[in-house]
Amino acid sequence: MPSYVAFLRAINLGANRKFPKDAIKAAVEGAGFTDVETHINTGNVRLTTAMRSTAKIEVALEDAFLADRGFEVPTMVFTTAEFAQIGRDAEELHAPELSRHYVYLLKEPLTADAMATIDGLARDGHRAVVRGRACHLLMGEGYREGTVDPMNVARHLGVATNRNYNVVTTLAAKWCAS
């Protein structure tokens, strides 16, 4: 059976959106998925299922999370091959002179217009590179600590969640190695 990697958005951010990783694992297993693993407490999940549609897996997970938590949890699901490519892209784009490297994981691919808009937001040594359903924010010198998106790229991405370079490359190596 194929394995998938899922990323939950907007959990563990405040008092009302708590979703510990053990509860995530239980909800995913309760929805019928197997070989479930989580990584840190930010909503990173690997699972196995006979389902072949990432969109259907997203719906099943979102339904399970809503039933378990009582609030919606947007979820982005990737095949292990897709996420392995995101990890390779992150490694290719990463450079020692970067202050930060964040990766937005997108629910849907961007339109050509959205990509053109994002390209036009580059400034002050900061830029965004879109590859597939991932948008890499490459922060240069002058990056202000505590600011994930100084270019306001996120408002053009639709439903997405972000992880830093280390989490993306760690998970690609851990869960997507062939």
* Residue 69 belongs to domain with CATH number: 3.30.70.1280
pTM assigned to the model: 0.95
Domain end, chosen from 27, 45, 80, is at 80
| CA–CA dist 170, 168 (Å, integer) | 6
Domain end, chosen from 80, 103, 123, is at 80
Does residue 135 contact residue 149 with C-beta atoms inside 8 Å? no
pLDDT in tens, 106-127: 999 999 999 999 999 998 889 9
**pLDDT at residue 178 in the model:** 59
| CA–CA dist 73, 45 (Å, integer) | 13
Per-residue pLDDT band at 147 (split at 50, 70, 90): confident
Per-residue pLDDT band at 143 (split at 50, 70, 90): confident
Q: What is the number of structural domains in the chain?
A: 2
Average pLDDT on 6-27 reads 90
pLDDT in tens, 53-69: 999 999 999 999 999 99
Question: Where in the sequence is the domain holding 36, given as residue range(s)?
Answer: 3-80
My answer on whether 27 and 49 are in the same domain is yes
